A and B are shown apart, each in its own frame.
Chain A
């Protein structure tokens, strides 16, 4: 049983890598270009952008569920999951803002606009920042786990309200631009399936990275315990 698990674990990285290469092929060669738009190649960013945005929302959902279970069971593995999902999710959330800005500069000729989805994403990113800062400013690991779980829950509940507010705030103003996600409705079937495939591949990549981060974290814990034991022994000998 353990051997199968290890084999599956070893096969996971090559699988994700192969799928990502395939995905690059689909995005850059297979997917049709939107000929109506003279900046047609720029829209290929959207495949990445949507996939990454999807993952950053999934990551926050993982944080929410892991936080709830941690507060309920008090099992450190759930805290490790929520912490790892937050670190990886933060990278993805940053990439959403970066890819979105690159696309926006090409299409709207501006890096940023206070459009509802962009605003919501920026605030979500700030909540990710707050989560990671809270963990590093906590005075001990147990406290970090508890406090960040509380923020994970409150933040998750807040996201729909933020989206509502941002939508009312900007949504009914004269619409100068349409958000990246609004384009999916008018997609042709091939583009849609490439987009879904990209989302799937990025979800697998996220799963791999979180798994990896969790095992690094458990090694860190082992090392810290070893250092503590050894360091304490050393201290006694010196005195």
Chain B
């Protein structure tokens, strides 16, 4: 309980704050929609058959950018209102702070994705749904928040944090984006299936495990001072 308790409490605090302000989920959802709208403008001249093959790619572009935006918010309020000082003074380990913040970001992003998928399906005529897509979504989102929580804590302490987070975050999660696009394409039956979706999921799983161990390990060093 000494570890799980603080983790749940920190995540709970973020969730209550979100329910009261509705800042993150609503703004990230709108942003993801805008990305998709811009994409449909960009893909206007592409024939419909090709466009259908590009759907998983468009989806993951939207989720990647939505992830960046959601992660930017993770530590902004803590920093602006001085909440981070309170968290650091509280008698909990730095790992608990990391996992608490990660859990709340994970929930926010999953809510956004759950709300976004039906709208996306309508806009892009995306009908080949596979239940395994949810597994890909869970694994990839876990990878995003595992790395994102660490880099968000770094970026918020630098000048021009809005630029810093995507620059740090996107190259590192590149394997997750590649694997997520490839496995979703294979699952919905578009694109060239060079490697089976299960192996891609395995790759995301390995990424998640490596960074769920590595990121909390260095997270404490980021917060000190």
Chain A residues, Cβ within 8 Å of B214:
153-154, 157
Q: Given A134-B168, A154-B150, A158-B172, decide whether A139 and B206 contact each other with a Cβ distance below 8 A.
A: no
A157 to B170, CA, bound (A): 15
Q: Are A169 and B167 in contact (CB under 8 A)?
A: no
- From DSSP, what is the main secondary structure of chain B's interface residues? helix
| Cross-chain contact B221 with A71 (CB below 8 angstroms) | yes
In the bound complex, do residue A154 and residue B172 qualify as a contact, i.e. CB atoms below 8 Å apart?
yes
Min CB distance A72 to B, Å, is: 10
Q: When the two chains form the complex, which single residue of B160, B171, B179, B203 contacts A127, counting CB atoms closer than 8 Å?
A: B171
Q: Size band of the A side of the interface? A: 20 to 34
The reply to whether A143 and B157 form a contact with Cβ atoms under 8 Å apart is yes
Known: A168-B200, A172-B194, A172-B195. A153 touches B218 (CB 8 A): yes
Contact of B178 among A147, A150, A165 (CB under 8 A): A165
Q: A162 to B215, alpha carbons, bound, how many Å?
A: 17
CA distance A151 to B167 in the complex (A): 11
From A123, A126, A168, give the contact of B203 (CB < 8 A): A168
Distance A150 CA – B195 CA, assembled complex (angstroms): 32
Our pick among B167, B200, B203 for the contact of A161 (Cβ within 8 Å) is: B203
Interface centre among B157, B171, B215 (most CB of A within 10 A): B171
Q: List 28 A-B contacts (CB under 8 A).
A: A71-B218, A123-B171, A123-B174, A126-B171, A134-B154, A137-B158, A137-B160, A137-B163, A143-B158, A143-B225, A146-B221, A147-B157, A149-B221, A150-B150, A150-B221, A151-B154, A154-B150, A154-B214, A161-B207, A162-B174, A162-B175, A165-B174, A165-B178, A165-B179, A165-B203, A166-B175, A168-B200, A172-B195
List A residues at the B interface (Cβ < 8 Å). Answer: 71, 123, 126-127, 129-130, 133-134, 137-139, 142-143, 146-147, 149-151, 153-155, 157-158, 161-162, 164-166, 168-169, 171-173
